[in-house]
Chain A
Amino acid sequence: MRSKRAERDWKRRGQVSVTFNWIYILVAGAVILLFFVGIIFKQKASAEQQLSIEVVDILESIFSGAQASEKTKTPIDTSGLADYTLYFKCEDKVTTYGIKDSSGSAEAPLAPIFSPTELQTPRLILWSLPYRLPYKITDFLLITSPNTKYFLIGDIKFANEFINASDDPDPRNKINIEYVLAGDYAGIDAEGNYNVRVVDLDGSVVDASNPLPPGLLQMEDLRVTGVSFRGNNVFFFHKKGSNWEAEGPVPIVSVDPVRDVAKYASIIAGSKQIYECNMQKAFERASLVTRAYIGKTESLVSQYQDDPGACLPFLQEGDKSAMTRIGLLQGGLARCGNELTYQLCSHDDLRNYAKDIQTRNEQLRTGACRTLY
């Protein structure tokens, strides 16, 4: 027979054992639970990272495809990414884009991509346009969205041209543009758009001395930007409180009197930096394309040496000959491609050289000679 004391000890041991079992189960359960919760969080983060990488990867392919298809507009359904913010920036001649606050991003070191700095949209509109100086240099890719609104003010002729050029039979490709009279500037309203760009075509409305329209005051500073065209320069502005803050001017280098792609790109580019940086890319490429044309001009000159006729002078004679001007253009472009400053790069010279080459090419064409381009 067990003694009373032994029986008490036995019961106590049983109680301790049961309590210990429960604690053990609780601890083990909590560890297992934490392990799975950890896996779920890790998996979620990894899935989001994977998604951002895949999205950027797809965008990269779409952008390079869209850029190759000249003069086309392509709608890209991004409804699955409507809650995410796409960002675009350009530094040291490299465009970087991706999903904000995620690790996935892509770089475009060569292709000029003009877009607002941020987009949050169920659809992207990609517009590819050829940039000429005076021959084709590259295709500019303009990226915007239906919820980015462009208010055009002044110069009705250019406004109509831009509205017609950006128009498309496919409603999904229509850029959100409205023409506003200078007198109605104060009535401009955000209308629930994600970004608003005020385009002052006469250079008289958007200025640091002029306050913002009251309808834009509620928007975030980053979402409201403006451009003002004055002579051959475009001045960039962004909202700061209730005023415009100047970012500075950038020269527009172009020889096209209509469908001026460099001007169109400045309307779409979200900041001075995006415009300037991508134009530098274009100038760098232009310098190389011009080398190809120098080679072609030399071949044409040597062909015409045996039978000079009326064609050779257009190519070789005088300081405004195609040969001279194309050499000067190449040098100027190389300088502008490296540093887009007023000290090293003369945009007026670039424009003049390109116009002279254009004139010589036209003279060659009308003189039944072989043309440069």
Chain B
Amino acid sequence: MKKNKKMGRDRKAQIQMTETVAILFIFFVLLTFGIVFYYQFQKSSLQNKQEEIFQRQAIEKTTQVLFLPELSCTKGEGESEDFCFDILKLNQAEELLKIDYYYQIFGFATITVEQVFPDEQDFSGDESSSPKIWPVYDREKKDAEGNVIWERKEETRFVVTLKDESQGKAEYKVGVVTVGVYQ
């Protein structure tokens, strides 16, 4: 009789133990599920944030180029002409913007200005003449060995006026400034 009682208690304990293990198992499954879900959510929101910052940087850099006093046209009293680049300044820009100071403004980016109207080929009738392009700033994202390490390049284009005083009087032409930002 005592033996039967002991066996009954043991079985009860075994059932309780199995119950506890099952509860713990379910608990850990739920916990793992929660951690995975939270990690995925954080990962996706981090990616969104990075994308947002990248897009904002691209816009900010384009704005900064458009208002750069080193490139912009002036109207006698030092007033800037909006969205206008002085060709005489553009000719010197590439050398000037190599200075480290400008890296703090533009970081890893490429900036070029292209004259789109009048088309120099049509103008001169020379088929071999290339379109007028001014490389203004060029810092590609590279590692110490010089290998390209950027994953993405976001390009923003903006139409600008180009003021040309090389022929004696001021002539206005149409150009496009392209700002490429690396990620």
Q: Which residues of A contact B (CB under 8 A)?
A: 61, 64-65, 68, 70, 109-110, 130, 132, 134-139, 284-285, 288-289, 291-292, 295-296, 299-300, 303, 361, 365, 370-371, 373
Q: Does B70 contact A (CB under 8 A)?
A: yes
Residues of A near B76 (CB, < 8 A) are 361, 365, 371, 373
B105–A136 touching, CB < 8 Å = no
A134–B78 touching, CB < 8 Å = yes
Residues of A near B72 (CB, < 8 A) are 136
Closest Cβ of chain A: how far from B13's Cβ, in Å?
16
Q: For chain A, what secondary structure do more than half of its interface residues adopt (helix, strand, loop), or is it mixed?
A: helix
Q: Does B176 contact A (CB under 8 A)?
A: no
Residues of A near B99 (CB, < 8 A) are 288
Known contacts A137-B69, A292-B89; is A61 also within 8 Å of B80 by CB?
A: no
B96–A135 touching, CB < 8 Å = no
A135–B88 touching, CB < 8 Å = no
Closest Cβ of chain A: how far from B1's Cβ, in Å?
15
Residues of A near B91 (CB, < 8 A) are 295, 299
Residues of A near B92 (CB, < 8 A) are 291-292, 295-296, 299
> Which of B60, B89, B101 meets A296, CB within 8 Å?
B89
- Interchain residue pairs A-B with the least CB separation, the first 9: A295-B92, A132-B78, A373-B74, A292-B70, A135-B78, A296-B88, A136-B78, A299-B88, A136-B69
Residues of A near B64 (CB, < 8 A) are 64, 68
CA distance A137 to B79 in the complex (A): 10
CA distance A284 to B91 in the complex (A): 22
CA distance A373 to B92 in the complex (A): 15
B74–A135 touching, CB < 8 Å = yes
Residues of B near A361 (CB, < 8 A) are 76
Residues of A near B86 (CB, < 8 A) are 296
A292–B93 touching, CB < 8 Å = yes
A/B pair count, beta carbons within 8 Å: 77
CA distance A193 to B145 in the complex (A): 58
Interface core residue of B66, B101, B105 (most chain A CB under 10 Å)? B101
Query: 8 additional contacts, CB 8 Å, given A136-B80, A288-B70, A289-B69?
Result: A65-B63, A109-B104, A130-B80, A135-B69, A136-B79, A292-B71, A303-B168, A371-B76
Q: Does B134 contact A (CB under 8 A)?
A: no
Residues of B near A291 (CB, < 8 A) are 92, 96
Residues of chain B from 67 to 124 with CB closer than 8 A to chain A in the complex: 67, 69-72, 74, 76, 78-80, 86, 88-89, 91-93, 96, 99, 101, 104-105
Residues of B near A61 (CB, < 8 A) are 56, 60
Residues of A near B70 (CB, < 8 A) are 288-289, 292
Residues of A near B168 (CB, < 8 A) are 303, 370
Q: List 5 A-B contacts (CB under 8 A).
A: A284-B101, A296-B86, A296-B89, A299-B88, A300-B88
Residues of B near A365 (CB, < 8 A) are 76
Q: Which residue on B lies nearest to A57, using beta carbons?
A: B53
Known contacts A134-B78, A137-B69; is A295 also within 8 Å of B63 by CB?
A: no
Residues of A near B67 (CB, < 8 A) are 68, 70, 139
Q: Which residue on B lies nearest to A286, using beta carbons?
A: B69
CA distance A177 to B78 in the complex (A): 29
> Which of A68, A289, A296 meets B63, CB within 8 Å?
A68
Q: Does B166 contact A (CB under 8 A)?
A: yes
> Which of A70, A285, A296 meets B80, CB within 8 Å?
A70
B63–A292 touching, CB < 8 Å = no
Residues of B near A65 (CB, < 8 A) are 63
Residues of B near A138 (CB, < 8 A) are 69
A288–B166 touching, CB < 8 Å = no
Residues of B near A300 (CB, < 8 A) are 88, 165
Closest Cβ of chain A: how far from B107's Cβ, in Å?
12
CA distance A65 to B59 in the complex (A): 10
CA distance A349 to B86 in the complex (A): 28
